[in-house]
Amino acid sequence: MIIKRYHNLYQITFLPHLFPINCFVVEQEADLICIDMGVSKFTDMVKEIVHQTGKPLNKLILTHAHGDHVNGTPYFKKVFPEVLVGISKRDSYLLKKDFRLQEDEPDKPVKGGFPKNIIPIDFTFESGEFIDSLEVISSPGHTPGAVSFFEPQHRMLIAGDAFQTRGGLAVSGVLKWQFPFPKIATWDRKTAVESAKKLLDLSPELLAVGHGNMLVKPEEQMKKAIKVAEGGRKK
């Protein structure tokens, strides 16, 4: 387990050299907000950041419903019972084992591993809302209700599995042999590409993802990854 920091964003990584899973903590002016909780061990590291900063933890928000982003939530709620947990309204159905597609969604099976245990959810949100300092950006493709979070002050984009950096930067649904799991778990690649383009339009200064290291000034790499996802060749 390691912790890295960029401005006011902490990245906590579990199994960094084998199967890296990330959790993030954003330090706000008065408090902290946590993003994703794939394993219970993240909670102890979040406690350390709370202690180091002297700021209370406000919320835990989840980028999508796959188990490697939510499995640690029940233990988290035992340690932080007053902290509210949120997920997109669309992916909240997946946590309830409701995998039916909506009328406007591509008719493809939802993929990936989902938690066996009940994941406590206190509230849901939709694209365009602000959760404290973070804007919710709808970025479906990996799952139907996947979202990213954008912090405008430092132009930080926490994109869940809309991109991966482990094995090389790639849009969700593109195979990276060094780390193929995001590809295997992606619901609809075409939708993922459209989401990636929307995220690129934010012109982020930092890209933080569910699997792999943070990237500073990632725009050119994002453009190349999108081109590859669309079927073009790398330059």
Q: What is the torsional sign of CA 159, 160, 164, 165?
A: positive
Domain range summary for the chain, segments of one domain joined by +: 2-98+108-229
State the pLDDT at residue 159: 98
pTM comes to 0.95
Residue found under tokens 């990854």: 225
State the pLDDT at residue 168: 94
Distances (CA, A) of 231 to 39, 45, 185, 192, 226: 35, 40, 20, 13, 9
State the pLDDT at residue 18: 85
State the pLDDT at residue 233: 43
State the pLDDT at residue 235: 38
Name the nearest CA neighbour of 148 among 120, 177, 128.
Answer: 128
CATH number for the domain running over 2-98+108-229: 3.60.15.10
Give the number of other CB atoms < 10 A from CB of residue 201.
9
- pLDDT averages per 10-residue partition of the chain, 235 residues: 94 91 97 98 97 97 98 98 98 97 95 96 98 98 98 97 96 92 95 98 98 97 97 53
State the pLDDT at residue 234: 44
Name the nearest CA neighbour of 196 among 218, 172, 213, 175.
Answer: 172
State the pLDDT at residue 178: 87
